[in-house]
Structure 1
Amino acid sequence: MLVVEDEESIADVLAIALRYHRFEVMTAGTVREALALTEHTSPDCALLDVMLPDGDGRALGRELRGRRPQTALVFLTARDAPAEIVGALGFGDDYITKPFNIDEVVARITAVLRRTRPADVLPQRAPLRHGDLELDETTYSVRRAGRSVELTPTEYALLRFLVRNAGRIVPKEQLLRHVWQYEHAPQESTVVETYISYLRRKLDTLGPPLITTRRGVGYGLT
């Protein structure tokens, strides 16, 4: 996996998240660095910022694909104008606009690789389980009591964090940092409460209530 992003803090976050999901990651901040890195290696997928200090990420994508036609290309762009989107999708496999949710980035890359590459390219992870709940971190799928549950990327990220911390109450502030990357969220923010209600609506129809609330503190799994 090649990540080309000139903002070092963003590149670090992307690399950490992708390595956590068992991708092998190389990072570069310029077109020149990326071409040097791939002189003797062939990444299965490249995540490319469109605007780089020494060139255009789309031109870099064309160069990488010219060297290895099966390379999957995903573009990062701060622009969401139709012309930018069309340009990114003209020969790429997907695009992501900034600011982005890191779990969505991982999910979109996994989906692109699933469409374009053999199954053995995807990193394999053992499912997360809690009671009759199962989360597959390779396919980003969720099942409860053997039945599939359709979740959005943010809903999935929230539920996964709760499962990983099962048996304890997770403070709201911690959820905001790890799921939404909010370092200083407004005290009156209701985004956590909103998404907890979405999860309850989808999960509680398949069995006993799973998510418990500790008022004024946070949430956990029973």
Structure 2
Amino acid sequence: MTRVLVVEDEPPLMRALEINLKARGYDVETAPDGAHALRRAAARPPDVVLLDLGLPDMDGNDVIKELRGWSRASILVVSARRTSQEKVTALDAGADDYITKPFDMDELLARLRAAARRVKAGKPAVGTAVVETEGFTIDLLAKKARREGRDIRLTPTEWHLVEVLVRNSGRLVSQQQLLQEVWGPSHSTQTNYLRVYMAQLRRKLEADPAHPRHFFTAPGMGYRFAP
């Protein structure tokens, strides 16, 4: 089921979108402002974000930039801003599509379907979510890790960390994103958790934990997985 996050500060429009999308089988969450949107996107990563730019706490373009730092969701802007420059600014910030208010619901749904198809096309097919390196293998679907022919036991927290890093393979994942996705928004400053758990992952999976070849640290910024 496609998960959609609706970010809209007008309650009647938010409710109308929620009703229409749920009626068509989407898993819908809503957020009235940018701060709530970012927290909910971190807690339950959406496939598509429908985003108003005129939010009460922050500009929608800033929400786009923040999301683009760690989310692969398709972002569809739904805004009353109509000038070409405003559209260009949103697209340059990282939006995937732009529709102006007032909009035709059928057109919005068509663009949402297209956005969902793009996201689905970018995900590994069922049965292929296996990452192989020269030293270990990770099967995300079976939740199994093997190193040198032996099964390696990872704790649920370690698995969650691995899943987030592998899902963003090759990209730097911020400390905040990892903390929010694995431990929740209330732990967004507990970077010591990351140091401890990343050290454990390296001991279990890396051939030389002191000189990792797959789980990299960007000091003060985040972590990156390279197959």
State the TM-score, normalized to the length of structure 1: 0.51
- 1:99-137: per-residue Cα shift (whole Å, max 9, x none)? 0111211111111222332399xxxxxxxxxxxxxxxxx
Worse-matched range after superposition: 34-43 or 5-14: 34-43
Query: Alpha carbons of 1:38 and 1:119: their partners in 2 closer, same or farther (altered >3 Å)?
Result: closer
Tell me, what secondary structure is at the counterpart of 1:53?
coil
Separation of aligned partners in 2, 1:115 and 1:31? 24
Superposition CA RMSD, Å: 1.9
Determine if the alignment matches structure 1 residue 60 to structure 2 residue 63: yes
User: Equivalent of 1:113, from 88, 113, 116?
Assistant: 116
Separation of aligned partners in 1, 2:57 and 2:34? 6
Determine if the alignment matches structure 1 residue 100 to structure 2 residue 103: yes
Query: Alpha carbons of 1:119 and 1:21: their partners in 2 closer, same or farther (altered >3 Å)?
Result: farther
Letter in 2 for 1:73: I
Tell me, what secondary structure is at the counterpart of 2:15?
helix
Deviation at 1:16, TM superposition (A): 0.8
Deviation at 1:88, TM superposition (A): 1.9
Letter in 2 for 1:2: L
Separation of aligned partners in 2, 1:79 and 1:52? 12
Q: Which residue of 1 aligns with 2:22?
A: 19
Contact 2:47-2:119 within 8 A present in 1 as well: no
Tell me, what secondary structure is at the counterpart of 1:27?
strand
Separation of aligned partners in 2, 1:49 and 1:8? 12
State the TM-score, normalized to the length of structure 2: 0.50
- 1:52-80: per-residue Cα shift (whole Å, max 9, x none)? 00011121122122122x21001011121
Query: Alpha carbons of 1:115 and 1:39: their partners in 2 closer, same or farther (altered >3 Å)?
Result: closer
Matches within 5 A, 1:109-148: 109-118=112-121
Q: Which residue of 2 aligns with 1:84?
A: 86
Matches within 5 A, 1:1-222: 1-68=4-71, 70-90=72-92, 91-118=94-121
Separation of aligned partners in 2, 1:36 and 1:66? 14
Tell me, what secondary structure is at the counterpart of 1:39?
helix
Separation of aligned partners in 1, 2:105 and 2:49? 16
Which 4+ residue blocks in structure 1 deviate beyond 3 angstroms?
none
Tell me, what secondary structure is at the counterpart of 1:80?
coil
Contact 2:6-2:28 within 8 A present in 1 as well: yes
Identity across matched positions, percent: 41
Separation of aligned partners in 2, 1:78 and 1:72? 20
Please list every run of 5 or more consecutive structure 1 residues that lacks an aligned counterpart in the other structure.
121-222
Deviation at 1:47, TM superposition (A): 0.6
Separation of aligned partners in 2, 1:107 and 1:18? 12
Query: Alpha carbons of 1:115 and 1:8: their partners in 2 closer, same or farther (altered >3 Å)?
Result: same
